[in-house]
Amino acid sequence: MQQILDILKRLEESPPQIFKFSNESTTYAIYHLNLYQNCIFQRMIELSYSAIDNIKNEKIISASTLIRTVMETFGALYYLDKEIINNLMSGNAIDATLEKLRKMIMANPLENPEVKIIHVHDFVRAVNKNFFLRYSELCELLHPNYYGVKGTYSMETFGTYKEEIKSLLPNISELLFNMLIDFEKINNCIQEKTIEIHQSSYSERIAF
């Protein structure tokens, strides 16, 4: 658990650099990408601390719910890096990149249900197959089905399932630890890429 706290402390001490807003197209895109990155960053830290508190208190369902949300948040950062930041670095159209970001962060608008949003499952699937399988297992535990409700809380069956459910605690602790290690790496990678794009854009404006 201390290793997890050490990573969270490092993250808190080195948040992403915040870029100033500009109407110039590239830096405008970087501003919005950077803003979303910072929101994900703060969300990841808060959720992780809350998950740790619930793990310590053996609140398995609450801890698992938080870990599932941490997985979605991790997936969002991964997707931001691989599908959006990399597109921008490859010279793809800025308008298309911003449209993809909009679909990534928006809910499906009631007035225009035809809009194809990028769902949270797309974030999680983008990481890898095993990550998505772990996510699906947590979803199954948390759904109001037999395993997630009666199998966990029923007086008749709690004795049977109690140890099985409690055995998940080390697994979700390990999952959180591994996610935070990768989250820190990806966050730093995005920071380097956005600085590179920002500086490149500035140099082009000076040359012009």
**What's the Cα-to-Cα distance from 62 to each of 55, 66, 76, 142, 173, rounded to whole Å?**
8, 6, 21, 9, 13
Evaluated on CA atoms 173, 78, 182, 133, the torsion sign reads positive
> Residue 43 — very low, low, confident or very high, per pLDDT cuts 50/70/90?
very high
183 has pLDDT over 60? yes
Poorest-pLDDT segment among 44-48, 95-99, 151-155: 151-155
How many angstroms from the chain centroid is the CA of residue 116? 20
Poorest-pLDDT segment among 5-9, 25-29, 193-197: 25-29
Span between the terminal Cα atoms of the chain, in Å: 53
- C-alpha span between 51 and 46 (Å, rounded): 9
> Residue 126 — very low, low, confident or very high, per pLDDT cuts 50/70/90?
confident
Residue-averaged pLDDT of the chain: 80
Using only C-alpha atoms, what is the Rg of the chain? 20
> What digits encode the pLDDT tens for the residues 132-154?
888 888 887 777 766 666 555 55
Give me the pLDDT at residue 204, please.
Answer: 46
Are 152 and 61 contacting, i.e. CB atoms less than 8 angstroms apart?
yes
* SS3 call for 24: coil
> What digits encode the pLDDT tens for the residues 47-84?
999 999 998 988 888 888 899 999 999 999 999 998 88
Poorest-pLDDT segment among 63-67, 98-102, 174-178: 98-102
Give me the pLDDT at residue 163, please.
Answer: 64
156 has pLDDT over 70? no
Question: What would the mean pLDDT of 3-17 be, rounded to a whole number?
Answer: 92
Both tokens assigned to 56:
């310590």
| Report for 5-19, 136-150, 166-180: range of highest mean pLDDT | 5-19
Give me the pLDDT at residue 4, please.
Answer: 93
- C-alpha span between 162 and 86 (Å, rounded): 45
Give me the pLDDT at residue 195, please.
Answer: 83
Give me the pLDDT at residue 207, please.
Answer: 36
Give me the pLDDT at residue 113, please.
Answer: 62
What single-letter amino acid sits at 123? F
Give me the pLDDT at residue 146, please.
Answer: 64
